Structure formats: structure tokens, C-alpha cells
């Protein structure tokens, strides 16, 4: 975390807090005498009250040396006596660490230390949470635990006879018994389904509670100021690492009978390449890594399955275009020596460019037919429906996971504040819900200032991206002149590439590569800026922090990745004028023109380079770098294969998980989702490439988490968070972008207008609707004598002769000599009307379809609703019985006293009567 000023800024001022300060102490599980007890830690006579033991030569041992207490967390630090430190640093580190560990002991934790096998300077402190502490913090964190077995029967899938071949081995990973659950409370302990106290809280739950305590344990006192949190101690170097343990080696099953070897099972049935065809063991992933990791892999797997459907349709569309490229009438006319070979095209830039013949673009026009055909239109409409089905079915799947993983009632107000937020709480405010006074880190004015500063910084970086896009455009304009002058495609040595090596293609490829490099550089720089801004805003909870950072990063990435594609799709070649009066950009550079077939093939090239380059770069970052770092670490520590290392030391050598966790994994997939949906009309193979990438992405991420990284602290999550509305926004925008790509970027609408209107009477001479003559109709005529001195070409091609008086250009304008020469003709206005009509019709039809599908498909399946109602009913019954028993237990002494008094008064009355 980036902090300003003194490194000890992470502190909580408890001066004059009154009830609020007491509430903080109670919230972290401290007694009212805790402050007095901690004062004793400041005296040198405070005993170091936990043992240091020797390693017992059991490599996968998960317990203290007594074999009874489970290791729930591990802290690692360097012994100052074994390493050269400045004297004041030695004293300060040891004092802070002693205070922190004493605080942990006072909070009920049990510690045991062991020195490293490889490095005598390194000490590992093992942390154990006793039963009472587990019960206390399970209640604080609202952990749901089983009360009764689930008595509702599940409906078997009709496809189970097929899907069983793709499931993980059920002998190794059996189906878990489902339970109805309730938030844990110590007062109702007898009503929870407890078979074995040691197994009641799973290792993931225990690690989560241990992490919560470590993040809130104080480590220093200065007057009335408390400083706390393991994260700050890691930043200051007091501890080298803090992590929960893997339960065994990933490739060897543990020999300890008490160890379930879940890591080994996950590696063999999930991360290993041999299991690439199997479905993911999501319940085991959730059990081992927590709900947050589980929901990510559930979403990624569901997204990949849905991509398979889109990929099949996209491949069919591609095959259709591939087979029609040789039969396309307009493509044949471009390649025909008698038609395209006799059409002289006007220069596409000033002076350096010269005349050229239309059949030079023969090969590119054939390739354009693959992507620019009627199948693409059908596929674009299909993808608009597909994204709706994807989101709706994901909501249903997510609702089922929420119930099965006990996150239905996971509310944001139940999430505890971040330690960084609590450390800055110095202002009083009234909670609008409870009307109680509480502490906040800033006033309303301060919050507004921070948000404004963050928004301004994000806006500045977005403008920086736009400036880089402008620079790329200038590069394209300038380099196109150079390629046009120096790229002599008529030379014999370039004959094999004559059909492909055009000035437009060379410019497009080089600009795409440069654009990709700039994107990667800006990503690295902006990442640090976005984290700094979010730290400065100081969100209250970790969910708020991740949502704020997600929004900033996505806005930046959206502009960074997609801006060049938007330029090619909607701006390039749209405002170019005509050869006699070209439009200049920045008053100097003549605007780029599209190929006679349109800019669609160039957009496809841009998408291919960016998507492919991004996938390769991500794999290098995610796989190669952690593997190389671990290799170097083992080499530096001189780890020999025969050396027996304890479990905690094996994990210490692995890479720590970043503070942002799954953020980059989600961001990578959402950016890919944007490429698949926003520009799919130009590249129907995008879903196939994404599907193949994701098949490996799932296994690569699994391999990385299991083999290269320390075990992450399990976290609770209800869904994919703020990524859900981002995906919904992309799907809405995708309808517009694909409709506009078909209307303005491809040449489909002009071809349809010609086929149905201008190929026959009264505009055409053909007797029936046909595409013959379309190329001639789509190219306007320009008289070469009307060239200005600035635009006239310096050189003429060898085949140019004095009989050539006109050239052609891509537009719909009246020819020279016409009363309205070089003005837009009737064909142009028909095309514009058809484009606008197409966009409006497609948008309304698709949005109506999306609305109907969203209304018809319920977000929560009926079976899940019934299970939720059944669970709530059982909870109510159990809690009602508990309340009745508690009332009876408390009222019994009162009723006994009343009965006794009544008996005594009766006896007195009888005596008096006597």
C-alpha cells in the first residue's frame, strides 16, 4: 500500500473514543482489561511465552510438535542475532515483534517457533487457534455451519450418462454431503451438526479466522495510539511472510493419515494436463481456496462452455465465407483482368503515391469475402442473443452456487472494515441507519476531494491514451506515404507477395504492433497510478476497494485496448473528401482511405494482433515468470533433492500471491469478452480463439495456484462483484458496435442496395437482380486534370499513357462534366438511408429479444428457491426452540421462587386461621 509521510502512518487514534473505542476492542475479540495487559508488553520483563522446537523430520506435518494442535497460519522472520542489522533496527524490530506476538497470545492464539532447515537466520512461527477462539471468531465473521443434512432430493440431469465421463474421479473426490446451514453462534452450539470438533471448522475457515486476527492484532503503543496489523509488519520487514499452509506436496500424496491431501487431488484431477477434458471439481476448489477463488473458476468454466457454442457458429460462418470467396461476383470483378485490370485507381496520398490498378487488391478482396458476407450478419445477430443468454444463465448458475456455498446472505455490512481504513478513523459522524456515532477517516468535504482527485487522475490518463492513439494515427498517415513510394510491388522479387504486400496492409500491420507495445507500456504505468489513487480514496471494506480499483482499471483498459479498433471501424476512410479536394488531418496529413473493399479486413488484422499478442504476453507473465522466480529461489537457497524440508519451509519458497488477488485474472477475461462481443462482426473466429485460449487458461491458472504460489487466504464472495454490471454494459454496447460495423465498416449495405435497387430498372440495365457491375457502380470517376499541384503524383507507372484521362476512387459522387460534378449522387443517399434503417431495425429487434429473454428466464432456479425457503424454515424452528429453552432456563428460578413464596404464604394463612 502506498502511504505518505512516516512509515508508521498505519495507526488508530483511540483518544476520546468512549464507547466507539470499546466497540473496536470488543470487535477484535479483546476483553476490557486488554489495554492493561498490553501495557505489560512494553516492559522488558514480559516473558516470551511460547516454545521454540526442532523440526521433527516429517515433511508434510501440519501440527505442532505435540501432534494435536493444527497449524492454522505461519509467520516467518529473520533472527536479528544471526544477521547484520543496525543496532537500533535490531531493538525496534524485536520490540515490535515481541509486542505483536504477545498480543496474539493474549487474544487466545497459541504459538510455536521452529528454525529453518536451510537458513539458520530464518525462523518460522506456527499459529494455532484453539476451539474457544474458533467459536468466537466464527460468530464475529458470520460463518455458516451445518445444522441438518439436506433432506431435499436433487433431480438428476438427463445428460448425466454422458457427462459422467468428463467428471473428476469420484473415487478420489467423492460428492460431498449437503447440509442446511446457519450463521454460527456459541450460545446455540448444541444445535449444530458436530461429528468431530477437529473437523467442524475446515482448514480454509481456520485460515480465514487466523488472518482476520493477525490483521487486527496491535504491535505498538505510543501513548494513546495503537498500531496494528500483520500487513504493516510485512511492509516494514519485521516479518518476511505470512501465509496458510498447503496440506501436502502437489505431486505426492501425504503419508499422514490425518491429511486429506486435497492439494494432490486438485493437481491430478484439475491442474494436470491429462485432466484437461474433465470438468472442474468446484466444491473441492471452494473448500480448499475459499468461495472467492471458487466463484472465479466457476465463472471462467461457464464462460468457456458458452464460448463453445459461439465458436461452432463462428466456424460455420467462416467456412461459409471461405467457400464463397471464389464465387463472389464483386471479388471476381476485382480480379478480372478485363475489369479490375482496366480500372485505374487514383493515388491515395499526395505526390509520393501514384496511379494503380484495381486488380492489385485481388487477394485482399478474396480474403475480405471470408469475413464480409451475409453469414457475418447472421452471426452478429446470433452473438447479440448469445451474450444475453450467457448472462441470464450465469445468474441462474451463480444463484445455485450462492446457495450451495452459503453466500446467499453474505451482505456488505457484514464485511469487516479494512485495517487501513480503521487506522485513519479520526472524525465523528452519525450512521444514517443506526443513528449512532461512529468514526470515519475523513469528512464529506474530504471524501469529495479524494473522489475528485481520483476522477481527475483517471481522466488525465484516458486523455493520455487518446493522445497515444492520435500519435499512432499520425504514424499511419506518415508511414503510408513512405510505403506507397518505396514498396514497389511490381518488382519481380516480390512477385509471391504481390497480392498481399500493399501499402495499406504494411501500414496496418506495423501500426498494430506499435499500438500493442504502447498498450502494454501504458498498462504497466497506469497500474501503479490506479492503485495509488484507490489507496488515497481509502475505501472502507476490501470489496469496496476492489470495486473502486476495478472500475478505474477497466475504464483505462477499455480505452487502451479498444480505441485503435474503434478508429479503424468508425473513423478511418469515412471523411476523406475526393481526389480534387482531399481532407487533411492537423492541416498536414491527408486522411487515410480504406481499401476498395472497405476497412473490415484491416480491423480483423488489428484484432488478431492485439488478441494474440495479449494472450501470449499474459501467459508469459502468469506462467513463465513465477516458474523462473521459484527456480532462482531454490537455486539461491541451494535446495537439494534429498534435503527434507518441513511443510512451512516448502511453502515459503513459493511465490506470494499479489495483493490484488484475482483482479488481473478477471480483467484479462473481461477484456477478451469485449473483443469477442464488440467486434465479432469483423472476426467470426474470435469466439473460437477465445475458447481455445480459455481451455488452457483454466488449467494454467490451476497449475499456477497449486504449484507456484503459496496458498491464498480464503475469502468469502457472493458473486463476481462489479464485473457483473461491466459485462452487462459491454453486451449493451456490443449490439450498437456490431450493427455499426456492418453498416459503416463493411460493404454489405451498399452491395444490398445495389442488388435490390440499382442493378435493375430504372437505375440499372440488368433484367434481374444481380451483383454484376457493382464494382463499377461503387467507384466514382475523377478527371486527372482536376488534380491540384499539391496532390498531383510526382511519378507515373510504366503502363500509364496519354489515353488515360480519368481515374477512379471509392465513393458515390457524380462524374466530371455533370452539372453537380463531384457531389454525392442518389446512390449515396440510398445507402445512407439503408444504413440508418438497418441500425435502427437491428437495435430494436435485438434489444426487444434481450428484454424478453431476460424477463422469461428467472434469475434463481425454482429448485434453489425451494431449498432456500426450506433452510430458512428450519433455521426459524431451531432458533425458536433455542429461544424457548433459554427463556425457560432463565425463568425457572423465578417461577421456583414464586411457587416457594406461595407455599410459604399458604402455610402462614393456615397458621393464622388455626
> pLDDT tens across 257-313, in order?
778 889 999 999 999 989 888 999 999 999 999 999 999 999 999 999 999 999 999
Q: Is the Cβ–Cβ distance between 41 and 103 less than 8 Å?
A: yes
**38 vs 635 pLDDT, higher one:** 635
**Residue 478 half-sphere exposure toward CB, CA atoms < 13 A:** 8
pLDDT tens track for 182-204: 888 888 888 888 888 888 999 99
Is the predicted pLDDT of residue 809 greater than 60, yes or no?
A: yes
Phi and psi at 654, nearest 5°, equal -80, 170
Which cell is 592 given?
Answer: 487515410
Is the predicted pLDDT of residue 545 greater than 60, yes or no?
A: yes
Cα–Cα distance for residue pair 133/574, rounded to 1 Å: 69
- 379-388, 435-444, 452-461 — which is least confidently predicted? 435-444
Q: How confident is the model at residue 244 (pLDDT cuts 50, 70, 90)?
A: very high
Phi and psi at 429, nearest 5°, equal -150, 160
CA-angle at 853, arms to 851 and 856, nearest 5°: 105
Which cell is 602 given?
Answer: 484491416
- 377-381, 624-628, 640-644, 654-658 — which is least confidently predicted? 640-644
Confidence at residue 431, expressed as pLDDT on a 0 to 100 scale = 64
Residues 6 or more apart in contact with residue 210 via CB below 8 angstroms: 72, 73, 109, 127, 129, 244
Residues 6 or more apart in contact with residue 570 via CB below 8 angstroms: 740, 744, 745
Strand (E) or helix (H) holding 808: strand 806-810
Q: With CA atoms as reference, report the closest residue to 480 among 499, 511, 507, 508.
A: 507
Q: With CA atoms as reference, report the closest residue to 149 among 199, 193, 196.
A: 193
Q: How confident is the model at residue 703 (pLDDT cuts 50, 70, 90)?
A: very high
Strand (E) or helix (H) holding 296: helix 291-324
Q: Is the Cβ–Cβ distance between 499 and 363 less than 8 Å?
A: yes
Cα–Cα distance for residue pair 17/36, rounded to 1 Å: 17
Is the predicted pLDDT of residue 10 greater than 50, yes or no?
A: no
With a pLDDT cut of 70, the percent of the chain lying above it is 80
Mean pLDDT of 69-85: 84
**Residue 306 half-sphere exposure toward CB, CA atoms < 13 A:** 22
Number of other CB atoms surrounding residue 260 within 10 Å? 19
Helix spans in 107-202 (H): 131-140, 160-163, 197-200
Cα–Cα distance for residue pair 455/533, rounded to 1 Å: 9
Confidence at residue 436, expressed as pLDDT on a 0 to 100 scale = 64
**914 vs 661 pLDDT, higher one:** 661
pLDDT tens track for 121-158: 899 999 999 999 999 999 888 888 888 887 776 666 66
Q: With CA atoms as reference, report the closest residue to 123 among 101, 92, 103, 106.
A: 101
Cα–Cα distance for residue pair 168/278, rounded to 1 Å: 6
Is the predicted pLDDT of residue 553 greater than 50, yes or no?
A: yes
Mean pLDDT over all residues of the chain? 80
Considering 9-23, 85-99, 378-392, 543-557, the range whose residues carry the highest mean pLDDT is 378-392
pLDDT tens track for 453-482: 877 887 888 788 788 877 877 777 777 666
Which residues sit opposite 146 in a β-bridge?
Answer: 181
Is the predicted pLDDT of residue 815 greater than 90, yes or no?
A: yes
Q: Is the Cβ–Cβ distance between 657 and 712 less than 8 Å?
A: yes
Is the predicted pLDDT of residue 840 greater than 90, yes or no?
A: yes
pTM score = 0.83
Q: Where are the domains of the chain?
A: 32-143+184-245
- 498-512, 539-553, 609-623 — which is least confidently predicted? 498-512
Number of other CB atoms surrounding residue 443 within 10 Å? 12
Is the predicted pLDDT of residue 412 greater than 60, yes or no?
A: no
CA dihedral in degrees (715, 716, 720, 725; nearest 10)?
-120
Amino acid at each position: 500500500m502506498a502511504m505518505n509521510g512516516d512509515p508508521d502512518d498505519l495507526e488508530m487514534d483511540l483518544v476520546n473514543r468512549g464507547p466507539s473505542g470499546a466497540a473496536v476492542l470488543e470487535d477484535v475479540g479483546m476483553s476490557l482489561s486488554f489495554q492493561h495487559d498490553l501495557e505489560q508488553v512494553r516492559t522488558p520483563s514480559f516473558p516470551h511465552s511460547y516454545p521454540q522446537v526442532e523440526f521433527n523430520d516429517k515433511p508434510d506435518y501440519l501440527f505442532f510438535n505435540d501432534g494435536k494442535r493444527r497449524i492454522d497460519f505461519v509467520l516467518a522472520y529473520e533472527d536479528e542475532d544471526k544477521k547484520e542489522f543496525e543496532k537500533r533496527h535490531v531493538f525496534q524490530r524485536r520490540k515490535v515483534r515481541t509486542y505483536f506476538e504477545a498480543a496474539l497470545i493474549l487474544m487466545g492464539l497459541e504459538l510455536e517457533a521452529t528454525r529453518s532447515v536451510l537458513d539458520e537466520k530464518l525462523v518460522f512461527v506456527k499459529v494455532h487457534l484453539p476451539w474457544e477462539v474458533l467459536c468466537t471468531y466464527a460468530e464475529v465473521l458470520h460463518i455458516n455451519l451445518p445444522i441438518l443434512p439436506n433432506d431435499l432430493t436433487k433431480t438428476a440431469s438427463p445428460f448425466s450418462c454422458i457427462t459422467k465421463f468428463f467428471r473428476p474421479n469420484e473415487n478420489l473426490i467423492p460428492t460431498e454431503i449437503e447440509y442446511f446451514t446457519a450463521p454460527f453462534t456459541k450460545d446455540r452450539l448444541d444445535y449444530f451438526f458436530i461429528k468431530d470438533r477437529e473437523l467442524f471448522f475446515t482448514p480454509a475457515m481456520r485460515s480465514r479466522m487466523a488472518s482476520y486476527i493477525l490483521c487486527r492484532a496491535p504491535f505498538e503503543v505510543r501513548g494513546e495510539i495503537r498500531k496494528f496489523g500483520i500487513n504493516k509488519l510485512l511492509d516494514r520487514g519485521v516479518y518476511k511472510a505470512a501465509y496458510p499452509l498447503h496440506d501436502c506436496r502437489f505431486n505426492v500424496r501425504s503419508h499422514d493419515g490425518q491429511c486429506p491431501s486435497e492439494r494432490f487431488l486438485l493437481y491430478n484431477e484439475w491442474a494436470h494436463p491429462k485432466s484437461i477434458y474433465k470438468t472442474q471439481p468446484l466444491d473441492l476448489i471452494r473448500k480448499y481456496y475459499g468461495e472467492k477463488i471458487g466463484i472465479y473458476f466457476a465463472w471462467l468454466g461457464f464462460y468457456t462452455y458458452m464460448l463453445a457454442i459461439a465458436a461452432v457458429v463462428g466456424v460455420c460462418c467462416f467456412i461459409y465465407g471461405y467457400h464463397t470467396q471464389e464465387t463472389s461476383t464483386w471479388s471476381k470483378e476485382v480480379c478480372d483482368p478485363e475489369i479490375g485490370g482496366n480500372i485505374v485507381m487514383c493515388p491515395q496520398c499526395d505526390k509520393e503515391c501514384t496511379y494503380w490498378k484495381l486488380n492489385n487488391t485481388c487477394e485482399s478482396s478474396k480474403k475480405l469475402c471470408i469475413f464480409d458476407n451475409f453469414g457475418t450478419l447472421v452471426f452478429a445477430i446470433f452473438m447479440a442473443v448469445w451474450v444475453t443468454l450467457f448472462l441470464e444463465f450465469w445468474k441462474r448458475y451463480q444463484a445455485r452456487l450462492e446457495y450451495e456455498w452459503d453466500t446467499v446472505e453474505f451482505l456488505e455490512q457484514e464485511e469487516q472494515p479494512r485495517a487501513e481504513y480503521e487506522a485513519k478513523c479520526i472524525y465523528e459522524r452519525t450512521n444514517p441507519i443506526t443513528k449512532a456515532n461512529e468514526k470515519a477517516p475523513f469528512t464529506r468535504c474530504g471524501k469529495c476531494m479524494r473522489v475528485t482527485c481520483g476522477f481527475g487522475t483517471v481522466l488525465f490518463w484516458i486523455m493520455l491514451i487518446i493522445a497515444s492513439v492520435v500519435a499512432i494515427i499520425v504514424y499511419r498517415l506518415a508511414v503510408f506515404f513512405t510505403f506507397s513510394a518505396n514498396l514497389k510491388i511490381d518488382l519481380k522479387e516480390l512477385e509471391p507477395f504481390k497480392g498481399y504486400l500493399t501499402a495499406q496492409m504494411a501500414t496496418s500491420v506495423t501500426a498494430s504492433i506499435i499500438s500493442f507495445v504502447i498498450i502494454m507500456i501504458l498498462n504497466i504505468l497506469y497500474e501503479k497510478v490506479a492503485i495509488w489513487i484507490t489507496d488515497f480514496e481509502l475505501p472502507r471494506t476490501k470489496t469496496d476497494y476492489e470495486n473502486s480499483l476495478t472500475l478505474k482499471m477497466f475504464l483505462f483498459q477499455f480505452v487502451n485496448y479498444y480505441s485503435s479498433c474503434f478508429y479503424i471501424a468508425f473513423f478511418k476512410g469515412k471523411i476523406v473528401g475526393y481526389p480534387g479536394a482531399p481532407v487533411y488531418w492537423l492541416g498536414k496529413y491527408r486522411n487515410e482511405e480504406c481499401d476498395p473493399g472497405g476497412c473490415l479486413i484491416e480491423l480483423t488484422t488489428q484484432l488478431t494482433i492485439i488478441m494474440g499478442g495479449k494472450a501470449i504476453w499474459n501467459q508469459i507473465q502468469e506462467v513463465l515468470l513465477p516458474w523462473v522466480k521459484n527456480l532462482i529461489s531454490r537455486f539461491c537457497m541451494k535446495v537439494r533433492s534429498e534435503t527434507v524440508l518441513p511443510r512451512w519451509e516448502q511453502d515459503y519458497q513459493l511465490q506470494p500471491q499479489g495483493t490484488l488477488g484475482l483482479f488481473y485474472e478477471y480483467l484479462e477475461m473481461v477484456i477478451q469478452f469485449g473483443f469477442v462481443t464488440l467486434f465479432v462482426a469483423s472476426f467470426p473466429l474470435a469466439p473460437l480463439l477465445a475458447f481455445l485460449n480459455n481451455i488452457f487458461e483454466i488449467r494454467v491458472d490451476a497449475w499456477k495456484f497449486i504449484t507456484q504460489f503459496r496458498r491464498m487466504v480464503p475469502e468469502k464472495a457472493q458473486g463476481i462483484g462489479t464485473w457483473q454490471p461491466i459485462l452487462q454494459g459491454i453486451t449493451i454496447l456490443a449490439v450498437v458496435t456490431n450493427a455499426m460495423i456492418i453498416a459503416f465498416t463493411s460493404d454489405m449495405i451498399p452491395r444490398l442496395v445495389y442488388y435490390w435497387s440499382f442493378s435493375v430498372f430504372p437505375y440499372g440495365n440488368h433484367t434481374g437482380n444481380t451483383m454484376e457491375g457493382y464494382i463499377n457502380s461503387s467507384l466514382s470517376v475523377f478527371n486527372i486534370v482536376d488534380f491540384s499541384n499539391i496532390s498531383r503524383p510526382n511519378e507515373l507507372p510504366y503502363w500509364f499513357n496519354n489515353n488515360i484521362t480519368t481515374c477512379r476512387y471509392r465513393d458515390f459522387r457524380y462524374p466530371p462534366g455533370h452539372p453537380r460534378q463531384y457531389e454525392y449522387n442518389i446512390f449515396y443517399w440510398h445507402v445512407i438511408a439503408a444504413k440508418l434503417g438497418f441500425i435502427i431495425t437491428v437495435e430494436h429487434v435485438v434489444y426487444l429479444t434481450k428484454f424478453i429473454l431476460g424477463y422469461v428466464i428467472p434469475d434463481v432456479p425454482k429448485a434453489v428457491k425451494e431449498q432456500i425457503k426450506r433452510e430458512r424454515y428450519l433455521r426459524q424452528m431451531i432458533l425458536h426452540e433455542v429461544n424457548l429453552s433459554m427463556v425457560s432456563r432463565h425463568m425457572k428460578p423465578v417461577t421456583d421462587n414464586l411457587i416457594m413464596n406461595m407455599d410459604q404464604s399458604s402455610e402462614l394463612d393456615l397458621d393464622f386461621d388455626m
